[in-house]
Structure 1
Amino acid sequence: MSDLLKLDNVETHIGQYHILQGVSFEVKKGEVTVLLGRNGAGKTTTLRTIMGLNPASNGSITFKGESIQSLPTYSVAKKGIGYVPEDQGIFAGLTVEENMRVAIQNENEETAKRMEWIINLFPDLKKFWKKPGGLLSGGQKQMLSIARAYVNENELLLIDEPSKGLAPIVVEKVMESILQMKDQTTIVLVEQNFMMASTIGDCFYIIDDGRTVSHGTMKQLKENEEMKRKYLGIA
């Protein structure tokens, strides 16, 4: 499988703070790549840097072999990268339907098919189709956020902490949905819930203090107790 996305020694400054100090990883088409690490390690900043929200100060980011690290966020999105932020990023005052319509870049037959597929995947969205997004539960807002990113013909989805703050039964639903979506698109997942990450992920990269410190298959990580204890705090 070819590299869909590649980061090479990426550094990012936010104000006076040097957050990313050398993040490198490769994303293979058709896989779920999981970014792991303790809180504050730089995982969210990595996704934001890919999207151009926190511009890289050094290193390179390529998508399908094309450099994207100097592009504005809207141009990165148009290349075919969808982003589900940690705070969900929905419009609370718009209905579920309006949230979905606003997210669509191009109205065409393929988009209509994707809309139908994702609504069937998340029946709660259909149930609350005419309700404001702000009235949804935390889990429903997360489903809407994922649906908004998926509805376009994106080849890559960046999903940040989809289980954060959700009840276990809702986490299971979100996990099941991502497992179905991985057959349709490539995913980079930031996730603190190791059970969820290890179930969904094909491979992993661990980020520690703004640097990539380890990588391998998810199977290898599940079997490496020392690494899980050292970098993830899993006893």
Structure 2
Amino acid sequence: MDTLLKVENLQTYIGQYHILQGISFEVKKGDVTVLLGRNGAGKTTTLRSIMGLNPPSQGKVCYKGSEIQGLSTYKIANLGIGYVPEDQGIFKDLTVEENMKVAMKKQDTETLERLEWILQLFPDLKKFWKKPGGLLSGGQKQMLSIARAYLNNNQLLLIDEPSKGLAPIMVEKVMESILEMKKQTTIVLVEQNFMMASTLGNRFFIIDDGRTVYSGGMSALKEDEQLKRKYLGIA
């Protein structure tokens, strides 16, 4: 499989704090690659560094073979990388319809057909099409955030903690939607819910104290109780 994204020795500071101290991983086209680790390990900062929101001080981020570190965030997004932040990033005062229109780069036939597919995938969004985003439930906001990132046929999606704060039934719905999107795009997923991560993921990279410390196939990690206990706190 082709490598779509390659991160090499990423180093990122936030203020005086050296958050990322050597993050390296590869993402194969068509895979769901999961970044795992305890809270504060550097997973969110890794995604933000890829998007240029927390620009790295050292290291490389290569997308489709070209280096993108140092580019502005909007230029990185225009290359075909969608980002679903941990805080969802929707416009709470805008309706669901307006949120989707703001995210839409162009209104051609392909995009409009994609929108119809998304509304079938997320029927709650169609149901509350004219409702302000701020009045949606937590799960519906997460669906809207994912839908906005997926709308423009991005070839890579970076999704940060999609299950955070959601009821189990909503976690199931979000999982189902990501499984459907997995058929058409490549995903980097940050997720604390190991059941969700292990169901969706093909490969994993464990981040600890700002460094990549372990990687492999998700099926192997499911069976490795020692590794899960040491780095993920899963008994």
State the TM-score, normalized to the length of structure 2.
0.99
**How do 1:148-187 residues align onto structure 2 when only pairs under 5 Å count?**
148-187=148-187
- For structure 2, the residue ranges without an aligned partner over 5 or more in a row are none
2:115 is matched with which residue? 115
Could you tell me how far 1:201 is from its partner in structure 2?
Answer: 0.3
Could you tell me how far 1:125 is from its partner in structure 2?
Answer: 0.2
2:134 is matched with which residue? 134
The amino acid that maps onto 1:70 is: G
State yes or no: 1:216 paired with 2:222: no
| Secondary structure of 1:174's aligned partner | helix
Partner Cα distance (1:69, 1:153) in 2? 22
| Secondary structure of 2:219's aligned partner | helix
The amino acid that maps onto 2:75 is: S
2:7 is matched with which residue? 7
2:43 is matched with which residue? 43
**How do 1:54-73 residues align onto structure 2 when only pairs under 5 Å count?**
54-73=54-73
CA deviations 1:74-100 (Å, max 9, x no partner) are: 000000000000000000000000000
The amino acid that maps onto 2:123 is: P
| Secondary structure of 2:195's aligned partner | helix
Partner Cα distance (1:35, 1:205) in 2? 5
2:189 is matched with which residue? 189
Q: Identity of aligned pairs, percent?
A: 76
The amino acid that maps onto 1:227 is: L
Partner Cα distance (1:121, 1:56) in 2? 35
1:146 is matched with which residue? 146
- For structure 1, the residue ranges without an aligned partner over 5 or more in a row are none
The amino acid that maps onto 1:4 is: L
Could you tell me how far 1:16 is from its partner in structure 2?
Answer: 0.0
Partner Cα distance (2:176, 2:153) in 1? 21
CA deviations 1:152-174 (Å, max 9, x no partner) are: 02000000000000000100000
Partner Cα distance (1:216, 1:108) in 2? 40
The amino acid that maps onto 1:199 is: T
User: Alignment length, in residue pairs?
Assistant: 235
Could you tell me how far 1:110 is from its partner in structure 2?
Answer: 1.4
CA deviations 1:159-208 (Å, max 9, x no partner) are: 00000000001000000110011001000000000000000000000000
The amino acid that maps onto 2:178 is: I
CA deviations 1:1-36 (Å, max 9, x no partner) are: 111000000000000000000000000000000000
Partner Cα distance (2:203, 2:179) in 1? 14
Partner Cα distance (1:19, 1:157) in 2? 23
| Secondary structure of 2:204's aligned partner | strand
Could you tell me how far 1:109 is from its partner in structure 2?
Answer: 1.5
Partner Cα distance (1:125, 1:176) in 2? 15
Aligned-pair RMSD on alpha carbons?
Answer: 0.5
The amino acid that maps onto 1:159 is: I
The amino acid that maps onto 1:79 is: L
| Secondary structure of 2:18's aligned partner | strand
| Secondary structure of 1:113's aligned partner | helix
Partner Cα distance (2:175, 2:15) in 1? 35
2:78 is matched with which residue? 78
State the TM-score, normalized to the length of structure 1.
0.99
| Secondary structure of 1:56's aligned partner | coil
Partner Cα distance (1:119, 1:42) in 2? 33
